[in-house]
Amino acid sequence: MKVTKLNYNRIARTYDFLSRIVFWGAQQKIQKGLIKWLKNGDNILIVGGGSGWILEEIAKLNLAKIKITYVEESSKMIQLTRRRQFQTSHVEIIQADIFELKIREKFDVIFTPFLFDHFNKEESQYLFEKLNKCANKSALWINTDFSLNSGAGKWWKKIYMAIIYIFFKWAIHIKNSELTELDPIIIKKGYSKLFEKYTYMNFIHGSIWQKE
């Protein structure tokens, strides 16, 4: 599937700062909470990790014999990632478009932090199915993203989401303009939800799923 190239190079150095200011650090906090589900020996795939700060947080967990494959398309995000403090022997950093990357390995955990909001429903389903083929039996899928579904205020969330898409059309040339809710796609593929959490006025959502 051909998908419009997204270029975070333009905002790579300021992205984390902007995220913490706009969302009061909620994007970072929810990811920090979910990685506590990782365990010793896990083979982990992280797709769209940005500047690599999450690798430092995983390193703080002091997990034994883990392996991380870290996929990020932006060359400047990759540069920032390589400057982070983590055990490089445990991490393989790959600069690639995930839609084009051939993945032959199987993983115990797939982590997609704020990834699927970049793509429409068809693209999201294609990408999910591609990554699902890389998941071991009983693998965990950790996903974080925006959500319009929980709690009051759906009207302001739609407005907020529209503003976000306007910014990213300018910043990274995103084509998508409508948030895809991933839950129905995951459920259809036979995953069971183990945990979920909402934050930032129920606008930011994190969930953990297990493959059956």
Instruction: Name the percent of the chain lying above pLDDT 70.
Output: 99
Specify whether the CB–CB gap between 128 and 189 falls below 8 A.
yes
103 Cβ contact list (under 8 Å, min separation 6): 45, 130, 131, 133, 134
Q: For 95-132, write each residue's pLDDT tens digit.
A: 999 999 999 999 999 999 999 999 999 999 999 999 99
- Show me where the domains of the chain are located: 8-211
pTM: 0.95
Mean pLDDT value of segment 61-87: 95
pLDDT of residue 149: 81
Res 150: pLDDT:
67
Asked if residue 80 has pLDDT above 70, the reply is yes
Return the CATH number of 8-211, one of 1.10.1490.10, 3.30.70.250, 3.40.50.720, 3.40.50.150: 3.40.50.150
14: left (phi > 0), else alpha (psi -120 to 50), else beta?
Answer: alpha
Structure confidence by residue, pLDDT tens digits, 138-182: 999 999 999 998 666 888 999 999 999 999 999 999 999 999 989
